[in-house]
Amino acid sequence: MRMILVTAPFLLVSHAAFAQEQVAPEQQPRCWLGSTSYSPGATVRAGEGVMLCTPSFVWETSKAAASGCVFEQKFFNTGAIHEGNECQPDGTWATISKPDQK
């Protein structure tokens, strides 16, 4: 019984000290497109052109190729194939022709 009375306060104090040491991670700013976030340097097709996420976390028009394509709030790399479509370097989707079945 004496051992429990000595051990219990020690465990409570050590647990409280551990909780104080944990620091919430600082939230990193990001560029947002819909509900998806991107890091600076990312290029994504939005509207009629490719947009670049700048170091100041704003989107700017870019002449660069897109890093990938967005479909149903999901990001796909250039060359990815999804539901019969291929992600093109300009950030658009192209339908892939199916081979003739015999």
| Per-residue three-class SS string for the chain | CHHHHHHHHHHHHHHHHHHHHCCCCCCCCCEEECCEEECCCCEEEECCEEEEECCCCCEEEECCCCCEEEECCEEEECCCEECCEEECCCCCEEECCCCCCC
Question: Would residue 5 count as lying in a domain?
Answer: no
Question: Would residue 102 count as lying in a domain?
Answer: no
Per-residue pLDDT, 56: 95
Domains in the chain, number: 1
Residue span of the structural domain in which 68 resides: 29-95
Q: pTM for this structure?
A: 0.59
Higher pLDDT, 19 or 56: 56
pLDDT at 82 over 60: yes
- Residue 77 confidence class, pLDDT cut points 50, 70, 90: very high
Per-residue pLDDT, 78: 92
**Structure tokens given for 48:** 């009629």
pLDDT at 19 over 60: no
Question: Would residue 65 count as lying in a domain?
Answer: yes
